[in-house]
């Protein structure tokens, strides 16, 4: 019933006047967070941070954004509605961060210190520090929260951490310089920056196969809210590829400048991507092909869309069918696939 209500709200949002969603962009190169008005398509303010912000996640209750300032050894907790800094926490070198789908754990990959830290999500007390030589880069969980998988960028491997014992169960070679990693339909999809493809890693058999090719410098992949597509970035080729989530077939390639890195979606399925090397954010509507760029700070990396629509919160992406895939795959979303809405806009034209 709750899911039907959510579907009703999202469909209703399509008939409301355009609202100004707020976009948060982490400028890793100049110690700031850009706040963008999505309707005016301009930066409305900048939040200063200490040193070097890279990634952010929304808390399980959807009330806060957690931003990792790796250079400043600090987590910032932002109000996703107003953008105010609610509190700060000093922790060691938070680069990539993710909550377990069950909301119990908070895991931090520290690329520059070769460590993976496991925190209690409620108290944010450090429970375990795992040493992982090889630049721990990105984290993805299994939907049952039993496993955390971390790419080891410098060693061409993925490490599997068993959350119950908080130990590394196994390490698997996957290919040169793995970066982004997500859970997708029972397998892990890993972007290989040293090649042009994403590989699929079966966590049961540990078999590694090529999943799809996007171009040199394959980097990261993000499921669309409706769960029908994956959008994968390639840094060297500088493009975004649209992948069929079912068949993993590359459907379209969007050539974009500036080395696209992280992607976020608004409830209509529009893409917001950070263009790392040119200090801009790309707005791309895959339904129409319309696109624009917004100037932000230097080396923008992590990005988050805060919808400003009735009944839609910061955690909307975690309630959508697409959340069955991703670094925090939600079993709830998997169960909702049948009755949750697809994108509000029409399906992309071909």
Single residue of 45, 104, 112, 185 touching other proteins by CB under 8 A: 112
Partners of 161 in beta bridges: 148, 168
Counting Cβ atoms within 10 Å, is residue 270 exposed (0-12), middle (13-18) or buried (19+)? buried
**100-338-181-173 Cα dihedral, nearest 10 degrees:** 100
Window 141-180: residues binding other proteins (CB under 8 A): 153-154, 176-177
Stretch that binds other proteins, among 4-12, 108-116, 164-172, 197-205 (CB under 8 A): 108-116
Q: Is 129 in the site for other proteins (CB under 8 A)?
A: yes
- Map the footprint of other proteins across residues 184-213, applying CB under 8 A: 193-194
The binding track of 76-95 with respect to other proteins, each residue x by CB under 8 A or -, is: --------------xxxx--
Site for other proteins in 29-68 (CB under 8 A): 29-32, 48, 50-51
Q: Which stretch binds other proteins (CB under 8 A): 35-43, 56-64, 110-118, 283-291?
A: 110-118
10-29 positions binding other proteins, by CB under 8 A: 28-29
**Applying CB under 8 A, which of residues 41, 62, 73, 77 lies at the interface with other proteins?**
73
Min separation Cβ 28 and other proteins, Å: 8
Q: Phi, psi (5° rounding) for residue 15?
A: -100, 5
Half-sphere exposure of 191 (CA within 13 A, CB side): 31
Token code pair at residue 227: 């769960």
Contacts for 116 with CB less than 8 Å, ≥ 6 apart: 107, 108, 109, 110, 129, 130, 132, 136, 139, 148, 150, 159, 161
Q: Are 24 and 79 within 8 A, CB to CB?
A: no
- Give the side-chain half-sphere CA count within 13 A for 77: 13
Judged by the rule CB under 8 A, the positions of this chain that interact with other proteins are 28-32, 48, 50-51, 71-74, 90-93, 110, 112-115, 129, 131, 135, 153-154, 176-177, 193-194, 216-217, 235-236, 238, 257-259, 276-279, 295, 298-299
């Amino acid at each position: 019933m709750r899911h039907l209500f959510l579907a009703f709200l999202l469909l209703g949002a399509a008939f409301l006047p355009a609202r100004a969603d707020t976009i948060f962009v982490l400028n890793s190169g100049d110690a700031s967070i850009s706040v963008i008005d999505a309707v005016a398509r301009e930066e409305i303010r900048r939040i200063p941070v200490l040193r070097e912000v890279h990634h952010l996640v929304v808390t399980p209750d959807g009330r806060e954004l957690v931003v990792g300032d790796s250079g400043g050894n600090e987590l910032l907790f932002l109000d996703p509605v107003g953008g105010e800094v609610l509190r700060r926490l000093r922790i060691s070198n938070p680069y990539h961060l993710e909550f377990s789908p069950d909301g119990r754990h908070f895991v931090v990959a520290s690329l520059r210190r070769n460590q993976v830290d496991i925190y209690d999500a409620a108290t944010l007390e450090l429970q375990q520090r795992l040493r992982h030589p090889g630049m721990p880069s990105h984290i993805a969980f299994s939907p049952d929260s039993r496993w955390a998988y971390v790419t080891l960028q410098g060693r061409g491997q993925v490490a599997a951490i068993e959350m119950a014992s908080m130990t590394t169960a196994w390490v698997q070679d996957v290919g040169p310089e793995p970066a982004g990693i997500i859970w997708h339909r029972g397998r892990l999809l890993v972007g290989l920056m040293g090649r042009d493809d994403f590989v699929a890693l079966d966590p049961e058999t540990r078999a590694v196969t090529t999943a799809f090719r996007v171009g040199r410098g394959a980097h990261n992949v993000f499921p669309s809210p409706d769960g029908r597509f994956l959008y994968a970035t390639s840094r060297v080729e500088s493009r975004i590829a649209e992948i069929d989530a079912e068949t993993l077939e590359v459907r379209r390639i969007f050539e974009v400048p500036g080395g696209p890195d992280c992607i976020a979606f608004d409830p209509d399925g529009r893409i917001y991507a950070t263009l790392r090397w040119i200090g801009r954010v790309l707005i791309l509507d895959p339904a129409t092909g319309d696109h624009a760029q917004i100037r932000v700070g230097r080396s923008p990396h992590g990005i988050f869309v805060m919808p400003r629509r009735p009944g839609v919160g910061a955690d909307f992406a975690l309630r959508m069918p697409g959340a069955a895939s991703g670094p925090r795959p939600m079993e709830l979303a998997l169960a909702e696939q049948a009755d949750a809405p697809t994108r509000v806009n029409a399906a992309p034209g071909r």
